[in-house]
Amino acid sequence: MRPNYLVIGAQNCGTTSLCANLGKHPDVFMTNPKELHFFSDPKVFARGWGWYEEHFKTVTTETAIGEGSTTYSRNVYQPDAPDLIYRHLPNVRLIYMVRHPLRRMETHWLHRRRLRRNPLWDFERTYREVPWMLDASLFWRQISLYRENFPDDRIHVVFFEDYVKDPDMVLADCFAFLGVDETFVIPDSREAQNRSLGRRADKGSGRALRQVPGSLSLWKKLPPSLRAAIQPFLTFRLEKKPEWPEAIRAHAIEKVTPDMEKFLAFYGKPADYWTIGEL
């Protein structure tokens, strides 16, 4: 069993919530975990089709069968994904979820902090040293690589802002695109998934402790009350979005603006749908 639709990104644009709700439709199958990275990670692809198809073995009567890997639209880091997908799944349908490109980068940084990827890097260093942080926000560049092989009627774009405003309407459009009953209403469709704000991230002390062999096992053995007392010294709560250094902000706007203008125009949004200058 192979998928007939893929959610290809973009990262930190609400795809976890979208995929969770897609999978609640009785005729839609979504893998668990949602992100398999099969076409974007050479080590995963080397596991072979048997490994990949194993994730779809529980399909029963569903007709829309898919997975959602946001690394499929991070071309600067995983350049082979669009071509591999076309070569192996030429008739697959693609769902691409996007949001305000600079807001996406802010959430990207929060996400990395929460998952302890370069946990002590500030926003500026992450922007400078993680090339896909900017690249993943160049939505026109990313989708154009798919449009080289996939016709536009096989690509469905979802705007995060529309989804937040009216998830039921957006989901109905997705269901119609996937060829399943678009009148089916998902319970609790507004429930957010995988948020970073409000979650905890490591301080330098927490990062250092994790490097000590056996520290995780010891931590799990501590009484919950003691862990709660110690935790504020090791971690902090992600309560606000990062500040943009002026030079980084100017660079991002310069790179994003022409790409954003083409994307919005092609997908029928007004030029001021995303306002960059006010950030």
User: What is the separation, in whole angstroms, between the first and last Cα of the chain?
Assistant: 45
Token couple for 81 = 């994904």
State the DSSP H helix or E strand holding residue 177, giving kind and residue range, or none if neither. Answer: helix 167-178
Can you point out the beta strands (E) in the chain? 5-7, 28-30, 64-68, 93-98, 155-159, 200-202, 235-237
Report the pLDDT value the prediction gives residue 121, as an integer from 0 to 100: 80
DSSP three-state, residue 159: strand
Which pLDDT belongs to residue 34? 94
- HSE value, Cβ hemisphere, 13 Å, CA-based, for 140: 13
**Residue 1 pLDDT grade (very low, low, confident, very high; cuts 50, 70, 90):** confident
Does residue 106 have a pLDDT over 60?
Answer: yes
Is residue 103 predicted with pLDDT exceeding 60?
A: yes
- How many percent of the chain have pLDDT more than 90? 72
pTM comes to 0.85
Looking at domain 5-196+241-266, what is its CATH homologous superfamily?
Answer: P-loop containing nucleotide triphosphate hydrolases (3.40.50.300)
Residue 166's pLDDT band (cuts 50, 70, 90) = very high
Cis peptide before 10 (omega within 30 of 0): yes
Between CA 137 and CA 260 the distance in angstroms is 9
Question: Per residue in 180-237, pLDDT tens?
Answer: 999 999 988 666 655 544 555 555 555 554 555 655 565 466 667 665 665 564 455 5
Neighbour count for residue 275 (Cβ, 10 Å): 9
**3-class SS at 146?**
helix
Residue 244 and residue 114: Cα distance in Å, rounded?
Answer: 19
DSSP-derived secondary structure letter, 70: G
Q: How far apart, in whole angstroms, are the C-alpha atoms of residue 75 and residue 135? A: 7
Which residues share a beta bridge with 96?
157
What pLDDT is stored for residue 266 in this prediction?
Answer: 98
Using a pLDDT cut of 70, give the percent of the chain over it: 78
Q: How big is the chain by its Cα radius of gyration, in Å? A: 20
Domain boundaries, given as residue ranges, for the chain:
5-196+241-266, 200-237
pLDDT, tens digit, 9 for 90 and up, residues 235-260: 555 555 788 999 999 999 999 999 99
Burial (0-12, 13-18, 19+ Cβ within 10 Å), 249: middle
What does the pLDDT look like over 18-47, one tens digit per residue? Answer: 999 999 999 999 999 999 999 999 999 999
Q: Judge whether residue 279 has pLDDT over 80.
A: no
Identify which of 25, 136, 24, 151 has the alpha carbon closest to the alpha carbon of residue 93: 151
Residue with tokens 């008739």: 91
pLDDT of residue 111: 77
Say how far apart CA 123 and CA 118 lie, in whole Å: 11
Q: How far apart are CA 122 and CA 112, in angstroms?
A: 11
Backbone angles phi, psi at 277, to 5 degrees: -65, -20
Q: Which of 143, 78, 124 is nearest to 251 (CA)?
A: 124
Question: Which of 60-69, 143-152, 197-206 is the least confident region?
Answer: 197-206
CA distances (Å), 72 to each of 8, 129, 237, 239, 240, in order?
A: 5, 20, 30, 29, 28
**Looking at the predicted structure, is the pLDDT value of residue 122 above 90?**
no
pLDDT level of residue 168 (50, 70, 90 thresholds): very high
